[in-house]
Structure 1
Amino acid sequence: MSGHRRAKAAASFASEADLCASFLAAVEANGQWVAYPETCNWDILLARRADGFQIGIQAKLRLNLDVIAQSLEDGGAMSADGPGPDCRAVLIPWGRNSCERICKYIGLTVIEVKPERTSPREIGFRPRLPGLKAKPAASETWHEWAPVRRHDLPDYVPDVRAGASAPLRLTNWKISAIKIAVTLDHRGFVTRADFKHIGIDHRRWLSAETRWLRNDNGRFVRGAAMPDFKAQHPRVYGEISADRDKWILPT
Protein backbone atom coordinates (compact mmCIF):
# COMPACT_ATOMS: atom_id res chain seq x y z
CA MET A 1 0.00 0.00 0.00
CA SER A 2 1.37 3.43 -0.89
CA GLY A 3 2.02 6.11 1.73
CA HIS A 4 -0.90 8.14 0.38
CA ARG A 5 -3.33 5.24 0.68
CA ARG A 6 -2.08 4.41 4.19
CA ALA A 7 -2.65 8.00 5.29
CA LYS A 8 -6.13 7.97 3.74
CA ALA A 9 -7.04 4.77 5.61
CA ALA A 10 -5.84 6.21 8.90
CA ALA A 11 -7.70 9.48 8.35
CA SER A 12 -10.98 7.64 7.88
CA PHE A 13 -11.20 7.16 11.65
CA ALA A 14 -12.26 10.47 13.12
CA SER A 15 -11.26 9.48 16.66
CA GLU A 16 -9.81 6.72 18.77
CA ALA A 17 -13.35 5.96 19.90
CA ASP A 18 -14.37 5.32 16.28
CA LEU A 19 -11.32 3.09 15.84
CA CYS A 20 -12.28 1.07 18.92
CA ALA A 21 -15.92 0.85 17.85
CA SER A 22 -14.97 -0.62 14.47
CA PHE A 23 -12.70 -3.18 16.11
CA LEU A 24 -15.27 -4.14 18.75
CA ALA A 25 -17.99 -4.63 16.15
CA ALA A 26 -15.79 -7.23 14.45
CA VAL A 27 -14.83 -8.89 17.74
CA GLU A 28 -18.42 -9.15 18.96
CA ALA A 29 -19.47 -10.72 15.67
CA ASN A 30 -16.95 -13.48 16.38
CA GLY A 31 -18.66 -14.31 19.68
CA GLN A 32 -15.63 -15.90 21.32
CA TRP A 33 -14.55 -12.87 23.35
CA VAL A 34 -16.09 -10.49 25.88
CA ALA A 35 -14.88 -6.90 25.55
CA TYR A 36 -14.59 -4.72 28.66
CA PRO A 37 -14.18 -1.09 27.55
CA GLU A 38 -12.13 1.27 29.76
CA THR A 39 -11.27 -1.45 32.28
CA CYS A 40 -8.15 -1.94 34.44
CA ASN A 41 -6.47 1.05 32.74
CA TRP A 42 -6.87 -0.46 29.26
CA ASP A 43 -8.92 1.13 26.49
CA ILE A 44 -10.21 -2.41 25.84
CA LEU A 45 -9.67 -5.53 27.92
CA LEU A 46 -10.66 -8.70 26.06
CA ALA A 47 -11.48 -11.92 27.91
CA ARG A 48 -11.88 -15.19 26.01
CA ARG A 49 -15.16 -16.86 26.95
CA ALA A 50 -13.75 -20.39 26.93
CA ASP A 51 -10.93 -19.95 29.44
CA GLY A 52 -10.66 -16.32 30.59
CA PHE A 53 -7.51 -15.61 28.55
CA GLN A 54 -7.00 -11.82 28.51
CA ILE A 55 -5.66 -9.28 26.03
CA GLY A 56 -5.06 -5.70 27.18
CA ILE A 57 -5.34 -3.15 24.36
CA GLN A 58 -4.44 0.54 24.10
CA ALA A 59 -5.78 2.44 21.09
CA LYS A 60 -4.09 5.24 19.13
CA LEU A 61 -4.64 6.82 15.74
CA ARG A 62 -0.86 6.93 15.33
CA LEU A 63 1.54 4.38 16.74
CA ASN A 64 4.08 6.23 18.89
CA LEU A 65 6.37 5.71 21.85
CA ASP A 66 3.76 7.00 24.32
CA VAL A 67 1.22 4.28 23.54
CA ILE A 68 3.95 1.64 23.43
CA ALA A 69 5.16 2.68 26.89
CA GLN A 70 1.55 2.80 28.11
CA SER A 71 1.08 -0.83 27.08
CA LEU A 72 4.08 -2.21 28.96
CA GLU A 73 4.25 -3.57 32.49
CA ASP A 74 5.15 -1.26 35.33
CA GLY A 75 8.83 -1.59 36.11
CA GLY A 76 10.47 -2.82 39.28
CA ALA A 77 10.53 -5.98 41.35
CA MET A 78 7.59 -4.84 43.47
CA SER A 79 5.22 -5.09 40.49
CA ALA A 80 6.40 -8.52 39.32
CA ASP A 81 3.46 -10.34 40.90
CA GLY A 82 0.82 -7.76 40.00
CA PRO A 83 -2.23 -8.53 37.88
CA GLY A 84 -2.10 -8.25 34.11
CA PRO A 85 -3.40 -9.65 30.84
CA ASP A 86 -1.94 -12.69 29.09
CA CYS A 87 -1.11 -10.59 26.01
CA ARG A 88 -0.63 -6.89 25.41
CA ALA A 89 -1.49 -5.02 22.22
CA VAL A 90 -1.87 -1.62 20.62
CA LEU A 91 -4.77 -0.86 18.29
CA ILE A 92 -4.14 1.39 15.27
CA PRO A 93 -5.66 2.11 11.85
CA TRP A 94 -4.78 -0.22 8.99
CA GLY A 95 -1.42 0.43 7.35
CA ARG A 96 0.05 2.57 10.15
CA ASN A 97 2.39 0.01 11.74
CA SER A 98 5.73 1.82 11.59
CA CYS A 99 7.26 0.06 14.61
CA GLU A 100 6.58 -3.60 13.80
CA ARG A 101 10.08 -4.85 14.62
CA ILE A 102 10.29 -2.89 17.86
CA CYS A 103 6.88 -4.02 19.10
CA LYS A 104 7.59 -7.63 18.17
CA TYR A 105 10.91 -7.51 20.02
CA ILE A 106 9.34 -6.27 23.26
CA GLY A 107 6.32 -8.56 23.04
CA LEU A 108 3.55 -6.18 21.94
CA THR A 109 1.10 -7.16 19.21
CA VAL A 110 0.03 -4.42 16.81
CA ILE A 111 -3.61 -4.81 15.75
CA GLU A 112 -4.50 -2.91 12.58
CA VAL A 113 -8.15 -2.09 11.89
CA LYS A 114 -9.69 -1.49 8.47
CA PRO A 115 -12.00 1.52 8.18
CA GLU A 116 -14.27 -0.51 5.89
CA ARG A 117 -14.57 -4.18 5.05
CA THR A 118 -14.67 -5.08 1.38
CA SER A 119 -16.63 -8.30 1.97
CA PRO A 120 -18.69 -9.86 4.79
CA ARG A 121 -16.08 -12.58 5.18
CA GLU A 122 -13.38 -10.14 6.21
CA ILE A 123 -12.82 -9.89 9.95
CA GLY A 124 -11.84 -6.24 9.59
CA PHE A 125 -8.54 -6.35 11.45
CA ARG A 126 -5.22 -8.18 11.60
CA PRO A 127 -3.80 -10.34 13.06
CA ARG A 128 -6.51 -12.75 14.15
CA LEU A 129 -7.06 -13.08 17.88
CA PRO A 130 -5.41 -16.13 19.45
CA GLY A 131 -7.53 -19.27 19.53
CA LEU A 132 -7.60 -22.08 22.04
CA LYS A 133 -5.56 -24.25 19.70
CA ALA A 134 -3.11 -21.75 18.29
CA LYS A 135 -0.97 -22.67 15.31
CA PRO A 136 2.83 -22.66 15.81
CA ALA A 137 3.15 -19.32 14.02
CA ALA A 138 0.83 -17.71 16.56
CA SER A 139 3.66 -17.52 19.07
CA GLU A 140 5.37 -15.04 16.75
CA THR A 141 2.27 -12.83 16.66
CA TRP A 142 1.03 -13.09 20.23
CA HIS A 143 3.58 -12.97 23.04
CA GLU A 144 2.30 -14.33 26.35
CA TRP A 145 3.48 -12.32 29.36
CA ALA A 146 2.49 -15.05 31.86
CA PRO A 147 1.19 -12.81 34.67
CA VAL A 148 0.96 -14.29 38.16
CA ARG A 149 -2.73 -13.45 38.04
CA ARG A 150 -5.07 -11.93 35.52
CA HIS A 151 -7.00 -8.72 36.00
CA ASP A 152 -10.10 -9.01 38.16
CA LEU A 153 -13.01 -8.36 35.83
CA PRO A 154 -16.03 -6.32 36.93
CA ASP A 155 -19.26 -8.18 37.57
CA TYR A 156 -20.88 -6.25 34.72
CA VAL A 157 -19.54 -5.34 31.28
CA PRO A 158 -19.13 -1.54 31.22
CA ASP A 159 -21.60 0.36 29.05
CA VAL A 160 -19.06 3.04 28.15
CA ARG A 161 -17.36 3.98 24.89
CA ALA A 162 -13.85 2.61 24.52
CA GLY A 163 -11.19 5.12 23.54
CA ALA A 164 -13.32 8.17 24.35
CA SER A 165 -11.66 11.32 25.61
CA ALA A 166 -12.06 11.57 29.42
CA PRO A 167 -14.08 8.32 29.48
CA LEU A 168 -16.74 7.56 32.06
CA ARG A 169 -15.53 4.37 33.78
CA LEU A 170 -17.55 1.63 35.42
CA THR A 171 -15.42 0.92 38.50
CA ASN A 172 -16.16 -1.44 41.38
CA TRP A 173 -17.04 1.65 43.40
CA LYS A 174 -19.54 2.72 40.73
CA ILE A 175 -21.17 -0.73 40.75
CA SER A 176 -21.58 -0.50 44.53
CA ALA A 177 -22.93 3.05 44.19
CA ILE A 178 -25.51 1.86 41.68
CA LYS A 179 -26.60 -0.81 44.18
CA ILE A 180 -27.25 1.93 46.74
CA ALA A 181 -29.27 3.85 44.14
CA VAL A 182 -31.25 0.72 43.19
CA THR A 183 -31.97 0.06 46.89
CA LEU A 184 -33.39 3.59 47.10
CA ASP A 185 -35.55 2.90 44.05
CA HIS A 186 -36.85 -0.31 45.56
CA ARG A 187 -37.27 0.61 49.22
CA GLY A 188 -37.34 4.39 49.22
CA PHE A 189 -34.56 4.69 51.79
CA VAL A 190 -31.23 3.19 52.87
CA THR A 191 -29.58 2.75 56.24
CA ARG A 192 -25.99 2.47 57.41
CA ALA A 193 -26.47 -1.30 57.34
CA ASP A 194 -26.98 -1.16 53.56
CA PHE A 195 -23.61 0.53 53.08
CA LYS A 196 -21.92 -2.12 55.21
CA HIS A 197 -23.70 -4.95 53.39
CA ILE A 198 -22.82 -3.59 49.94
CA GLY A 199 -19.29 -2.69 51.02
CA ILE A 200 -19.10 1.01 50.18
CA ASP A 201 -17.98 3.90 52.40
CA HIS A 202 -21.00 5.80 53.67
CA ARG A 203 -19.24 9.07 54.54
CA ARG A 204 -19.31 10.60 51.06
CA TRP A 205 -23.03 9.94 50.82
CA LEU A 206 -24.06 11.24 54.21
CA SER A 207 -21.94 14.40 54.26
CA ALA A 208 -23.85 17.65 54.64
CA GLU A 209 -21.56 19.12 51.98
CA THR A 210 -22.31 16.61 49.20
CA ARG A 211 -26.09 16.44 49.82
CA TRP A 212 -26.30 13.06 48.10
CA LEU A 213 -28.61 11.77 50.84
CA ARG A 214 -30.57 13.43 53.62
CA ASN A 215 -31.59 12.15 57.02
CA ASP A 216 -35.25 11.24 57.40
CA ASN A 217 -35.88 10.05 60.98
CA GLY A 218 -32.78 7.85 61.08
CA ARG A 219 -33.15 6.61 57.54
CA PHE A 220 -31.54 8.19 54.49
CA VAL A 221 -33.45 9.25 51.39
CA ARG A 222 -32.35 10.69 48.07
CA GLY A 223 -30.84 14.17 48.38
CA ALA A 224 -30.87 17.11 46.01
CA ALA A 225 -27.35 16.54 44.67
CA MET A 226 -27.24 12.75 44.34
CA PRO A 227 -25.60 11.75 41.02
CA ASP A 228 -27.82 10.24 38.34
CA PHE A 229 -26.09 6.87 38.03
CA LYS A 230 -28.91 5.56 35.86
CA ALA A 231 -28.23 8.21 33.22
CA GLN A 232 -24.49 7.48 33.38
CA HIS A 233 -24.84 3.71 32.95
CA PRO A 234 -28.37 2.87 31.75
CA ARG A 235 -27.72 -0.72 30.65
CA VAL A 236 -25.67 -1.72 33.67
CA TYR A 237 -28.14 0.02 35.99
CA GLY A 238 -30.90 -2.16 34.55
CA GLU A 239 -28.80 -5.31 34.89
CA ILE A 240 -27.93 -4.58 38.52
CA SER A 241 -31.57 -3.81 39.24
CA ALA A 242 -32.62 -7.11 37.66
CA ASP A 243 -30.13 -8.91 39.94
CA ARG A 244 -31.43 -7.11 43.03
CA ASP A 245 -32.56 -10.23 44.89
CA LYS A 246 -29.00 -11.62 44.66
CA TRP A 247 -27.30 -8.76 46.53
CA ILE A 248 -29.81 -6.54 48.38
CA LEU A 249 -29.86 -6.59 52.19
CA PRO A 250 -32.87 -8.62 53.33
CA THR A 251 -35.42 -6.67 55.35
Structure 2
Amino acid sequence: MKAGKIKADFENEAALCAAFIAALPEGWTAYAETAGFDILLVRGADGAQIGVEAKMTLNAKVLMQAVEGIYAGSGEPGSGPDFRAALVPYGTAGAEMKCIARYLGVAVIECRNLGDCEAEVVRIMERYGSGYFLTEEALRKYAESEVKRDHPPFKPDLPLYGGYDWRDTWKDFCPVKRCSVPDYVPDVSAGASGPSQLSEWKIKAIKICIILERRGYLTPKDFAHVSIDRKRWHDMGWIAHATDNGVYVRGRFVAGGSPLDLRAAHPVNFGQIEADWAKWKPKEDAAEFQGAML
Protein backbone atom coordinates (compact mmCIF):
# COMPACT_ATOMS: atom_id res chain seq x y z
CA MET A 1 0.00 0.00 0.00
CA LYS A 2 1.38 3.39 -0.96
CA ALA A 3 2.04 5.69 1.97
CA GLY A 4 -0.15 8.79 2.12
CA LYS A 5 1.35 12.20 1.77
CA ILE A 6 1.97 13.69 5.19
CA LYS A 7 0.27 17.06 5.53
CA ALA A 8 1.74 20.02 7.37
CA ASP A 9 -0.42 21.43 10.16
CA PHE A 10 -0.87 25.17 10.63
CA GLU A 11 -3.28 26.91 12.95
CA ASN A 12 -4.32 29.40 10.30
CA GLU A 13 -3.15 31.26 7.20
CA ALA A 14 -1.21 33.77 9.29
CA ALA A 15 0.87 30.93 10.78
CA LEU A 16 1.41 29.50 7.30
CA CYS A 17 2.64 32.86 6.00
CA ALA A 18 4.90 33.35 9.03
CA ALA A 19 6.57 29.97 8.48
CA PHE A 20 7.11 30.72 4.80
CA ILE A 21 8.55 34.18 5.45
CA ALA A 22 10.89 32.77 8.12
CA ALA A 23 12.27 30.28 5.59
CA LEU A 24 12.89 32.75 2.75
CA PRO A 25 16.36 32.60 1.21
CA GLU A 26 18.70 35.56 1.38
CA GLY A 27 18.04 38.26 -1.16
CA TRP A 28 14.23 38.31 -0.89
CA THR A 29 12.15 40.80 1.12
CA ALA A 30 8.57 40.03 2.16
CA TYR A 31 6.06 42.89 2.16
CA ALA A 32 3.04 41.63 4.08
CA GLU A 33 -0.44 42.71 2.94
CA THR A 34 0.89 44.79 0.08
CA ALA A 35 -0.53 45.53 -3.40
CA GLY A 36 -3.56 43.34 -2.73
CA PHE A 37 -1.52 40.20 -1.96
CA ASP A 38 -1.04 38.39 1.34
CA ILE A 39 2.70 38.64 0.64
CA LEU A 40 4.54 40.58 -2.04
CA LEU A 41 8.07 39.21 -2.39
CA VAL A 42 10.72 41.50 -3.86
CA ARG A 43 14.08 40.22 -5.10
CA GLY A 44 16.86 42.57 -4.12
CA ALA A 45 19.06 41.79 -7.12
CA ASP A 46 16.71 43.24 -9.73
CA GLY A 47 13.42 44.17 -8.04
CA ALA A 48 11.50 41.20 -9.46
CA GLN A 49 8.25 40.54 -7.59
CA ILE A 50 6.14 37.53 -6.64
CA GLY A 51 2.53 38.09 -5.58
CA VAL A 52 1.59 35.37 -3.09
CA GLU A 53 -1.91 34.40 -1.94
CA ALA A 54 -2.19 31.97 0.96
CA LYS A 55 -4.90 29.40 1.75
CA MET A 56 -5.11 26.31 3.93
CA THR A 57 -5.76 24.21 0.83
CA LEU A 58 -5.32 24.72 -2.90
CA ASN A 59 -8.73 25.66 -4.28
CA ALA A 60 -10.36 27.76 -6.98
CA LYS A 61 -10.65 30.79 -4.69
CA VAL A 62 -6.93 31.14 -4.02
CA LEU A 63 -6.13 30.67 -7.72
CA MET A 64 -8.67 33.37 -8.61
CA GLN A 65 -7.09 35.72 -6.07
CA ALA A 66 -3.60 34.98 -7.38
CA VAL A 67 -4.45 35.83 -10.99
CA GLU A 68 -6.77 38.75 -10.24
CA GLY A 69 -5.82 41.92 -12.11
CA ILE A 70 -3.54 40.27 -14.67
CA TYR A 71 -5.34 41.94 -17.55
CA ALA A 72 -6.54 45.52 -17.79
CA GLY A 73 -9.81 46.42 -19.52
CA SER A 74 -8.03 46.77 -22.86
CA GLY A 75 -6.85 43.18 -22.71
CA GLU A 76 -3.23 44.28 -22.38
CA PRO A 77 -1.18 43.00 -19.44
CA GLY A 78 -1.73 45.36 -16.53
CA SER A 79 0.43 46.43 -13.65
CA GLY A 80 1.36 43.69 -11.22
CA PRO A 81 4.13 41.37 -10.05
CA ASP A 82 6.42 39.42 -12.36
CA PHE A 83 5.31 36.08 -10.91
CA ARG A 84 2.24 34.83 -9.07
CA ALA A 85 1.95 32.03 -6.53
CA ALA A 86 -0.46 30.22 -4.24
CA LEU A 87 0.94 29.27 -0.82
CA VAL A 88 -0.56 26.18 0.86
CA PRO A 89 0.50 23.74 3.60
CA TYR A 90 2.58 20.82 2.42
CA GLY A 91 0.43 17.92 1.28
CA THR A 92 -2.78 19.88 0.65
CA ALA A 93 -2.33 20.58 -3.09
CA GLY A 94 -4.28 18.05 -5.14
CA ALA A 95 -2.92 16.99 -8.54
CA GLU A 96 -5.98 18.33 -10.40
CA MET A 97 -5.78 21.81 -8.87
CA LYS A 98 -2.02 21.94 -9.40
CA CYS A 99 -2.63 21.19 -13.08
CA ILE A 100 -5.13 24.06 -13.31
CA ALA A 101 -2.68 26.34 -11.51
CA ARG A 102 0.01 25.48 -14.04
CA TYR A 103 -2.29 26.40 -16.94
CA LEU A 104 -3.01 29.74 -15.22
CA GLY A 105 0.68 30.42 -14.70
CA VAL A 106 0.41 30.25 -10.90
CA ALA A 107 3.23 28.51 -9.04
CA VAL A 108 2.05 26.36 -6.13
CA ILE A 109 4.29 26.73 -3.08
CA GLU A 110 3.91 23.95 -0.50
CA CYS A 111 5.23 24.92 2.91
CA ARG A 112 6.17 22.70 5.82
CA ASN A 113 5.74 23.54 9.47
CA LEU A 114 9.13 24.59 10.86
CA GLY A 115 8.45 22.36 13.85
CA ASP A 116 8.21 19.36 11.51
CA CYS A 117 11.55 20.26 9.96
CA GLU A 118 13.17 20.51 13.40
CA ALA A 119 11.65 17.16 14.39
CA GLU A 120 13.24 15.59 11.30
CA VAL A 121 16.61 17.12 12.23
CA VAL A 122 16.38 15.60 15.71
CA ARG A 123 15.36 12.22 14.27
CA ILE A 124 18.42 12.14 11.99
CA MET A 125 20.72 13.18 14.85
CA GLU A 126 19.35 10.39 17.04
CA ARG A 127 19.68 7.87 14.21
CA TYR A 128 23.31 8.63 13.36
CA GLY A 129 24.55 10.05 16.63
CA SER A 130 25.90 6.78 17.99
CA GLY A 131 27.38 5.52 14.72
CA TYR A 132 29.51 8.49 13.76
CA PHE A 133 32.37 10.13 15.61
CA LEU A 134 31.02 13.66 15.19
CA THR A 135 30.57 16.51 17.59
CA GLU A 136 26.99 17.46 18.29
CA GLU A 137 27.49 20.69 16.34
CA ALA A 138 28.82 18.83 13.29
CA LEU A 139 26.05 16.25 13.55
CA ARG A 140 23.37 18.94 13.64
CA LYS A 141 24.94 20.64 10.63
CA TYR A 142 24.87 17.35 8.74
CA ALA A 143 21.26 16.66 9.78
CA GLU A 144 20.13 20.15 8.76
CA SER A 145 21.74 19.76 5.33
CA GLU A 146 19.95 16.43 4.88
CA VAL A 147 16.60 17.94 5.84
CA LYS A 148 17.13 20.94 3.59
CA ARG A 149 17.82 18.60 0.68
CA ASP A 150 15.10 15.99 1.27
CA HIS A 151 12.57 17.93 3.36
CA PRO A 152 12.93 21.62 2.45
CA PRO A 153 10.81 24.12 4.40
CA PHE A 154 9.01 24.93 1.16
CA LYS A 155 9.10 23.92 -2.49
CA PRO A 156 9.61 24.76 -5.29
CA ASP A 157 12.60 27.08 -4.96
CA LEU A 158 12.00 30.72 -5.80
CA PRO A 159 13.02 31.86 -9.31
CA LEU A 160 16.73 32.47 -9.69
CA TYR A 161 18.20 35.73 -10.89
CA GLY A 162 19.77 35.14 -14.30
CA GLY A 163 18.91 31.43 -14.27
CA TYR A 164 16.70 29.28 -16.47
CA ASP A 165 15.89 26.19 -14.40
CA TRP A 166 12.85 27.95 -12.89
CA ARG A 167 10.99 28.57 -16.15
CA ASP A 168 8.87 25.38 -16.03
CA THR A 169 7.45 26.38 -12.64
CA TRP A 170 7.46 30.17 -12.68
CA LYS A 171 5.70 32.02 -15.49
CA ASP A 172 7.00 35.55 -16.00
CA PHE A 173 4.00 37.81 -16.73
CA CYS A 174 6.29 40.69 -17.76
CA PRO A 175 4.05 43.42 -16.31
CA VAL A 176 3.99 46.90 -17.80
CA LYS A 177 4.66 48.23 -14.32
CA ARG A 178 5.52 46.43 -11.11
CA CYS A 179 3.53 46.85 -7.92
CA SER A 180 4.30 49.87 -5.78
CA VAL A 181 5.92 49.00 -2.48
CA PRO A 182 6.02 51.18 0.65
CA ASP A 183 9.24 52.84 1.77
CA TYR A 184 9.20 50.65 4.88
CA VAL A 185 8.64 46.90 5.24
CA PRO A 186 5.17 46.61 6.87
CA ASP A 187 5.15 45.53 10.52
CA VAL A 188 1.93 43.56 10.05
CA SER A 189 1.10 39.86 9.92
CA ALA A 190 0.58 38.37 6.47
CA GLY A 191 -2.56 36.31 5.95
CA ALA A 192 -4.34 37.61 9.05
CA SER A 193 -8.09 38.13 9.06
CA GLY A 194 -8.97 41.81 8.51
CA PRO A 195 -5.31 42.79 8.04
CA SER A 196 -3.89 46.24 8.67
CA GLN A 197 -1.94 47.59 5.70
CA LEU A 198 0.96 50.03 5.59
CA SER A 199 -0.33 52.13 2.70
CA GLU A 200 1.24 55.28 1.29
CA TRP A 201 -1.53 57.25 3.00
CA LYS A 202 -0.75 55.66 6.35
CA ILE A 203 2.95 56.55 6.08
CA LYS A 204 1.94 60.17 5.49
CA ALA A 205 -0.48 60.00 8.41
CA ILE A 206 2.27 58.69 10.69
CA LYS A 207 4.39 61.70 9.71
CA ILE A 208 1.56 64.04 10.69
CA CYS A 209 1.23 62.24 14.04
CA ILE A 210 4.97 62.61 14.65
CA ILE A 211 4.91 66.35 13.86
CA LEU A 212 1.99 66.77 16.27
CA GLU A 213 3.79 64.82 19.00
CA ARG A 214 7.02 66.78 18.61
CA ARG A 215 5.58 70.26 18.27
CA GLY A 216 2.24 69.97 20.03
CA TYR A 217 0.26 71.47 17.16
CA LEU A 218 -0.08 71.41 13.37
CA THR A 219 -0.43 74.05 10.65
CA PRO A 220 -1.89 73.88 7.12
CA LYS A 221 1.65 73.88 5.76
CA ASP A 222 2.37 70.62 7.58
CA PHE A 223 -0.41 68.86 5.69
CA ALA A 224 0.77 70.41 2.42
CA HIS A 225 4.35 69.37 3.15
CA VAL A 226 3.32 65.75 3.75
CA SER A 227 0.80 65.87 0.85
CA ILE A 228 -2.19 64.64 2.81
CA ASP A 229 -5.74 66.02 2.89
CA ARG A 230 -6.58 67.93 6.09
CA LYS A 231 -10.38 67.66 5.70
CA ARG A 232 -10.53 63.99 6.62
CA TRP A 233 -8.65 64.69 9.84
CA HIS A 234 -11.29 67.26 10.79
CA ASP A 235 -14.20 65.03 9.80
CA MET A 236 -12.90 62.06 11.79
CA GLY A 237 -12.15 64.14 14.89
CA TRP A 238 -8.44 63.39 14.73
CA ILE A 239 -7.60 67.10 14.96
CA ALA A 240 -9.39 70.22 16.19
CA HIS A 241 -8.81 73.96 16.03
CA ALA A 242 -6.42 75.18 18.71
CA THR A 243 -7.84 77.69 21.16
CA ASP A 244 -6.42 80.40 23.39
CA ASN A 245 -8.68 81.31 26.30
CA GLY A 246 -11.63 79.90 24.41
CA VAL A 247 -10.82 81.75 21.19
CA TYR A 248 -9.85 79.82 18.05
CA VAL A 249 -6.23 80.28 16.97
CA ARG A 250 -6.36 80.64 13.22
CA GLY A 251 -4.24 78.21 11.22
CA ARG A 252 -3.26 76.04 14.20
CA PHE A 253 -4.59 72.58 15.09
CA VAL A 254 -4.21 70.19 18.02
CA ALA A 255 -5.26 66.61 18.72
CA GLY A 256 -9.02 66.16 18.45
CA GLY A 257 -11.48 64.23 20.57
CA SER A 258 -10.67 60.97 18.75
CA PRO A 259 -6.94 61.19 18.01
CA LEU A 260 -5.42 58.76 15.52
CA ASP A 261 -3.08 56.36 17.36
CA LEU A 262 -0.82 54.94 14.67
CA ARG A 263 2.05 54.38 17.11
CA ALA A 264 0.05 51.53 18.62
CA ALA A 265 -1.10 50.21 15.24
CA HIS A 266 2.38 50.22 13.65
CA PRO A 267 4.98 50.40 16.45
CA VAL A 268 7.95 49.28 14.34
CA ASN A 269 7.15 51.42 11.29
CA PHE A 270 6.29 54.41 13.49
CA GLY A 271 9.73 54.18 15.08
CA GLN A 272 11.44 53.82 11.70
CA ILE A 273 9.69 56.86 10.24
CA GLU A 274 10.41 58.81 13.41
CA ALA A 275 14.10 57.87 13.11
CA ASP A 276 14.10 59.34 9.59
CA TRP A 277 12.82 62.71 10.86
CA ALA A 278 15.76 64.61 9.38
CA LYS A 279 14.93 63.29 5.90
CA TRP A 280 11.30 64.43 5.75
CA LYS A 281 10.71 67.01 8.51
CA PRO A 282 8.83 70.22 7.63
CA LYS A 283 10.68 73.34 6.66
CA GLU A 284 11.76 75.58 9.50
CA ASP A 285 9.13 78.20 8.73
CA ALA A 286 6.31 75.64 9.00
CA ALA A 287 6.37 75.84 12.79
CA GLU A 288 5.68 79.55 12.69
CA PHE A 289 3.12 79.52 9.92
CA GLN A 290 -0.22 80.85 11.05
CA GLY A 291 -1.75 80.60 7.58
CA ALA A 292 -4.60 82.47 6.09
CA MET A 293 -6.23 79.28 4.83
CA LEU A 294 -8.44 77.18 7.10
Task: Provide, for residues 64-88 of structure 1, a one-character-per-residue CA deviation record: whole Å limited to 9, x for no partner.
Answer: 1011011114345436353200000
The separation in 1 between residues aligned to 2:72 and 2:18, in whole angstroms, is 34
Shift of 1:133: 2.8
Task: Provide, for residues 35-64 of structure 1, a one-character-per-residue CA deviation record: whole Å limited to 9, x for no partner.
Answer: 000000000000001110000000000111
- AA matched with 2:92: R
Tell me, yes or no, if the aligned pair for 1:81 and 1:149 is still in contact at 8 Å: no
Say which SS state the counterpart of residue 31 (structure 2) adopts: strand
Which has more radius of gyration? Answer: 2
Superposition pairs of residues 68-87 of structure 1, within 5 angstroms: 68-74=63-69, 75-78=71-74, 80-87=76-83
Q: 2:156 aligns with which of 112, 122, 127?
A: 127
Say which SS state the counterpart of residue 168 (structure 2) adopts: helix
Percent of aligned pairs with the same amino acid: 43
Say which SS state the counterpart of residue 84 (structure 2) adopts: strand
Q: 1:179 aligns with which of 207, 228, 234?
A: 207
Correspondence for 1:106:
104
Say which SS state the counterpart of residue 272 (structure 2) adopts: helix
The separation in 2 between residues aligned to 1:222 and 1:46, in whole angstroms, is 37
Correspondence for 2:21:
24
Say which SS state the counterpart of residue 78 (structure 1) adopts: coil
Tell me, yes or no, if the aligned pair for 1:57 and 1:91 is still in contact at 8 Å: yes
Correspondence for 2:188:
160
Say which SS state the counterpart of residue 43 (structure 1) adopts: strand
**Are residue 60 (structure 1) and residue 55 (structure 2) matched?**
yes
Give the TM-score normalised by the residue count of structure 1. Answer: 0.91
Tell me, yes or no, if the aligned pair for 1:57 and 1:90 is still in contact at 8 Å: yes
Q: 2:86 aligns with which of 78, 84, 90?
A: 90
What residue ranges of structure 1 are gaps of 5+ in the alignment?
none
**Are residue 214 (structure 1) and residue 245 (structure 2) matched?**
no
Say which SS state the counterpart of residue 141 (structure 1) adopts: coil
Say which SS state the counterpart of residue 180 (structure 1) adopts: helix
Shift of 1:168: 0.9
Tell me, yes or no, if the aligned pair for 2:55 and 2:62 is still in contact at 8 Å: yes
What residue ranges of structure 2 are gaps of 5+ in the alignment?
122-143, 243-248, 285-294
Task: Provide, for residues 97-143 of structure 1, a one-character-per-residue CA deviation record: whole Å limited to 9, x for no partner.
Answer: 111211112211000001121343424000011111324x3100111
Correspondence for 2:141:
none
Moved segments of 4+, more than 4 Å: none
- AA matched with 2:104: I
